[in-house]
Amino acid sequence: MENSFALRKVEVSLSPQERFEEYLQSRGKRMTHQRRVILETVFAQHEHFDADGLWEMVQQAGHQVSRPTVYRTLNELEDCGLLRRMQLGNRRVYEHDYGYPDHDHLYCERCHKLFEFQCEELERIREAVAREYQFRANGHRFIITGVCAQCSQGRRRPRRLELV
Amino acid sequence: MENSFALRKVEVSLSPQERFEEYLQSRGKRMTHQRRVILETVFAQHEHFDADGLWEMVQQAGHQVSRPTVYRTLNELEDCGLLRRMQLGNRRVYEHDYGYPDHDHLYCERCHKLFEFQCEELERIREAVAREYQFRANGHRFIITGVCAQCSQGRRRPRRLELV
DNA sequence: ATTTTTGCAAACCATTTGCAGCTGG
DNA sequence: CCAGCTGCAAATGGTTTGCAAAAAT
């Protein structure tokens, strides 16, 4: 039997690059070398990442972009709907948003990795609760914390510094 | 019909004070004037609060406690199970834990207030997803974001400074 | 040519920490 | 008395900002 919580695909018409271009043009902003490099780096992989991790990836790819520019660009990418932000401890973690379905997360407290799953029932619950409280819901976050399969199997290879 | 997501009561045998005393004694720590003042202030109300808000409450009650002591004591109260922490934006928000049932939250993006509700189905989903991913779950957070009834009704009285 | 963007250094803000003096038991 | 605690000031760490130089249109 298939994983009943697997993510379903979402079709999109524009590439992230095209979408970002449109976003920039619509606000009189410019496509710079740095923004291009950051955009490429962000969409060259699918893992969750934070500003500092992204900065390192950019460095290692041999490009020179300052940290402030990374932060500024991340805000723009979020603003234009390409990225989605999540606060984990004192760190902001990003994931692809454009072309990705809404989903929720399992968070491993040992290796600090995030796993994604999709569950329609959550939306149902959200609506039911919102109705009860006359709340105008426009989103939710469901994070299950615990220890992932790998880490449970004795292998303790910590992945990043403490995130929580 | 009753609110089906209302919180059910939980009985406890010790008062927060007693429990804190036990916690302190068990670690060779001392009950100081400051810790007593903070504990009283924390359990004199039931709202969610952050370190700075607590510090102000203490001040306004006419007591002198330093910010570092507030932070240190909050960590102890969390450690001993009296308080529960939640990260909201870049701020740590606390709520009573001892004597309170597990629950989840509605978060109003307008007035930044938190509302609580209880929904057993969430635990079921948590377990089902965890099983699928061979994840050892030991908790979850479900936060519904949106606008609360009051704020929807045109009254915009912002409550605190920006939390997200 | 004009306006936006960048990089640097400094500012910020919530939280933590080193340390000398104070205090609870 | 002495270990543990407090307050102060300074450090921390992630993120933002002011500003002058550089780049995009």
Q: Is the pLDDT of residue A164 over 50?
A: no
Torsion of CA B117, B120, B124, B126, to 10 degrees: 20
Whether residues A83 and A113 share a domain: the answer is no
B25 touches strand C (CB under 7 A): no
Torsion of CA A16, B163, A92, B100, to 10 degrees: -120
- B7 falls within a domain: no
Whether residues B79 and B106 share a domain: the answer is no
Contacts of A117 in chain B (CB under 8 A): 129, 132-133
Whether residues A47 and A59 share a domain: the answer is yes
Residue (of A104, A106, A133, A134) closest to A121 by Cα position: A104
Our CA-based measurement puts residue A76 at a distance from the nearest CA of chain B, in whole angstroms, of 17
CB-based contact, A1 to chain B, within 8 Å: no
Whether residues A25 and A92 share a domain: the answer is yes
Distances (CA, A) of A135 to A26, A126, B105: 33, 10, 12
* Protein-nucleic contacts, chain A 83-142 to strand D, CB < 7 Å: 90-92
Q: Is the pLDDT of residue A146 over 70?
A: yes
DSSP A14: S
Q: What CATH number should be reported for the domain holding residue B50?
A: 1.10.10.10
Domain boundary among B53, B71, B99: B99
Q: Looking at the DSSP assignment, which residues form a beta bridge with residue A47?
A: none
* Joined tokens for residue A27: 């606000």
Whether residues B25 and B39 share a domain: the answer is yes
Domain assignment of residue A79, given as a range: 13-99
Question: Could you tell me how many residues make up chain B?
Answer: 164
CB-based contact, A60 to chain B, within 8 Å: no
Give the tens place of pLDDT for each residue, A59-111.
999 999 999 999 999 999 999 999 999 999 899 999 999 999 999 999 999 89
Q: What CATH number should be reported for the domain holding residue A118?
A: 3.30.1490.190
CB-based contact, A7 to chain B, within 8 Å: no
Whether residues A22 and A93 share a domain: the answer is yes
The spacing between the Cα labelled CA in A132 and the C1' in D5, in angstroms, equals: 47
Give the tens place of pLDDT for each residue, A4-35.
899 999 999 999 999 999 999 999 999 999 99
Verdict on whether the full-model pTM lies above 0.75: yes
* Residue that has been written with the tokens 């006419």 in this structure: B62
Whether residues A19 and A81 share a domain: the answer is yes
The spacing between the Cα labelled CA in A29 and the C1' in C6, in angstroms, equals: 14
Which of B109, B116, B129 to mutate against chain A (most A CBs within 10 Å)?
A: B129
Q: Is the pLDDT of residue B1 over 70?
A: no
Q: With pLDDT > 90 as the criterion, what percentage of chain B qualifies?
A: 88
CB-based contact, B75 to chain A, within 8 Å: no
